Amino acid sequence: KKRASLEACWEPIMLEVLAGAAPDSELHTLVKPDEERYFVDFLMHYSTRLKGDERAAVLELSHHYLPWVALQLKRRSPERRARAVQTLGELDAQGYTDELMAALTDPSPLVAITAARALARQRNPDLARGLVDSFGAVELWHKRFLSSMLANMGPKSGPILRDALADPNQPTHTRVLAAETLVQLNDLAAVDSATAVIQTEHDTDLLVAALRLIQRVGGEEQREPVKRLLSATDPAVRANAVRALACVGTQSDVDLVRKAVEDESNWVVMHAVWGLKALGRLDMLRDIVSCNHRRAAAAREMLAEVPA
């Protein structure tokens, strides 16, 4: 009730300020010291819905209250700290970059990921190093979510991500996230790092991420190291190796892809029949179906996706 009452008081003046019919000071005088947090939320409501000059006016209004918001970063409640980070990121991320960078090391994963999102929205590749180094604080968050967030910073962050992928001293999950982000960026220069990973590393998640990167940006030079993983113990590695070989291989590799159809793992078989289609060997898929092979269902399903 208090929030609704305050907003009903502020809104008419707010509309006048946005229209240029009233000065900012007229609105500021209505906000009492114990009402600052309500007013900041009120401004957040507008800033996320407006664009152009009107949004700029809201941001200008907010500057008077942001020092108070920054003080909330010292609160004991992680939810309060996260809300403060979100607010600073929305209303003046560039002006509070140092505070947001410091929040990346907050003991609360919620605060750290909120800071990471605020920094990523700036699309400033100079901040990518801090984000990569902070991955340890957000390890439990979904890899695809984090990689999408980093990819939003643009291709200029590629060199930092390539360094992270190639560095064996980095935590494995950091290298995996770097690889996943480079996939989204279609970073051609990352292929050497990915090739080195599949030749020297043994962690399943890291191998799969590197193979996915090779699928996207690799070439015939990666055929031989990819082939060696066709006999890997883990089916996820074998499956992605088959798919990668279909992407970077030649017709001379068709027999290896066809052999993978015999794999005991359904996951590997799915990638193998996809690989035969990608290599243009629909005849092999039809043979598998016609001879009532035990993997005929997978081949039939893949043929069904081929345009008539």
> Per-residue confidence of the chain (308 residues) as pLDDT tens digits?
889 999 999 999 999 999 889 899 999 999 998 899 999 999 999 998 889 989 999 999 999 999 999 999 999 999 999 999 999 999 998 899 999 999 988 888 889 889 988 988 888 878 887 887 776 545 556 677 788 888 888 888 999 999 999 999 998 988 999 999 999 999 999 999 999 999 999 999 999 999 999 999 999 999 999 999 999 999 999 999 999 999 999 999 999 999 999 999 999 999 999 999 999 999 999 999 998 888 899 999 999 987 75
Euclidean distance between CA atoms 89 and 225, whole angstroms? 44
State how far the alpha carbon of 15 is from the alpha carbons of 12, 28, 37, in Å. 5, 14, 20
Euclidean distance between CA atoms 26 and 177, whole angstroms? 49
Half-sphere exposure of 136 (CA within 13 A, CB side): 10
